[in-house]
Amino acid sequence: MSLQTIQSKFESVFDLVSIIPTKTYVDAAKSLNKGLPDLDYETLVVLAYAYPKRTIASSKTHLVPSFYTFGEDYHRAMKKRIKAICDDLGYKTSYGVDNHPLDERLMASLSGIGFLGKNQLIISQTYGSYIFLAYVLIDHPYEDLHQVTIDNHCGTCRQCIDACPTNALSELGYDMEKCMSFYNQEKIPLSTKQMKDNYALFGCDICQLVCPKNLGKGKIVHQAFELNGNEKVAIEDIFNLTKKAFNQKYHYPAYMWKGKTLLMRNAAMMMYQQKNADYLDLLEASLEQFDMPWYQKTLNTVINALKK
Ligand code: SF4
Ligand code: SF4
């Protein structure tokens, strides 16, 4: 199949498509000492799928995750579209969306999809940072593929650095442990400072909301990412519904990939921040059911603070 045909097939579904030799990525990953699984495929397709910007505030009864999780789970939405194309190519392929050992951001910057901003997100010319990334490896070589360099960067801007409430960003890089979007997705006990800073049920949008490269972007709404009712999450549902019932009611959302107990811990964290003692009975009852140390420790801190 010609390179042009492959490019067209992916472009018919995805917003940005760039094809480079896999070796370009392998060489760059090795020079950065990144772990590399066996990449026995000659060609690498890097994909971006745009998602819209939609901000919704949490309340004392309903909590809201980062807006990239609104609508269908992007892992599922992208994988099924990639699979449909790969099944038709006639070559051995391998692909991934987000949760895999390869570095999608490195792939995206090497392929010209966008540049790595100081907020650690890939920023594209057309869609800003409101894009999901994915890759497809194809076991077939093509001539004339090469790295794509784009002439765009943050320059002297530091708006995300100044806006980050936890000082996770700096001119020198990124301190992952300080980032809300990292620690509210980790099964770890949380400090009172971490809980005070955190404002979202899952993830954090601040450093892309302030980015001037995103001005006027985030308007495209693919059908997969239309609002479907999974945006405002009732606190009672987080604690009272089984995982299965929750998934059915909220349409198998992307924020469930770490499990419902993590969502319960995050709901408790938000109640701490809101000084919201309306659900103390649910918090206390959950302690009887879930004995993981990271959960118990955080919940006890929240319960004790709310009882004062
Ligand atoms: S996601 Fe939030 S906490 Fe993390 S770097 Fe961006 S603004 Fe800071
Ligand atoms: S806010 Fe400024 S410094 Fe941060 S990623 Fe956007 S352009 Fe770069």
Print pLDDT tens along the chain (308 aa). Answer: 999 999 999 999 999 999 999 999 999 999 998 877 778 899 999 999 999 999 999 999 999 999 999 999 999 999 999 999 999 999 999 999 998 889 999 999 999 999 999 999 999 999 999 999 999 999 999 998 888 888 779 999 999 999 999 999 999 889 999 999 999 999 999 999 999 999 999 999 999 999 999 999 999 999 999 999 889 999 999 999 999 999 999 999 999 988 999 999 999 999 999 999 999 999 999 999 999 999 999 999 999 999 98
As given in the structure block, the two tokens for residue 28 are: 């760059």
Per-residue pLDDT, 100: 87
List the structure tokens of 254: 């992307």
| pLDDT value of position 144 | 84
- Which residue's C-alpha comes closest to atom 2 of ligand 2? 157
Token pair in block for residue 291: 């004995």
Residue type, 218: G
Q: What is the pLDDT of residue 148?
A: 86
Residue 208 CA, closest ligand 1 atom number: 6
Instruction: Please say if 98 is a catalytic residue.
Output: yes
Helices vs strands, H then E, count in the chain: 13, 10
Tell me which of 40, 73, 87, 98 is the catalytic residue.
98
Residue 35's pLDDT is: 74
Q: Report d(CA 127, CA 121) in Å as an integer.
A: 12
Tell me the β-bridge partners of 18.
Answer: 46
Helix (H) / strand (E) containing 168: none
How much distance in Å is there from the Cα of 112 to the middle of ligand 2?
A: 18
Please report the beta strands in the chain, taking only residues with DSSP state E, as ranges in sequence order.
16-21, 43-50, 62-63, 93-96, 115-116, 122-123, 131-138, 169-170, 173-174, 233-234
Instruction: Tell the residue number behind the tokens 């954090």, with chain if given.
Output: 204
Kind and range of the H or E run holding 252: none
> Rounded to the nearest whole angstrom, what is the distance from the C-alpha of residue 110 to the centroid of ligand 1?
24
In 3D space, the residue among 214, 246, 190 whose CA is nearest the CA of residue 52 turns out to be 214
Res 22: pLDDT: 96
| Residue 180: predicted pLDDT | 96
Of 108, 65, 40, 81, which Cα lies nearest the Cα of 231?
A: 65
What's the 172 CA to ligand 2 centre distance in angstroms?
A: 13
Mapping DSSP to helix (H, G, I), strand (E, B) and coil, where does residue 45 land?
A: strand
Residue 286 buriedness (CB in 10 A; 0-12 / 13-18 / 19+): buried
The model's pTM is 0.94
Find, among 171, 166, 164, 159, the residue nearest to 206 by Cα. 164
Amino acid at 27: D
Give strand pairing partners of 94.
137
- CA-nearest residue for atom 6, ligand 2, is 211
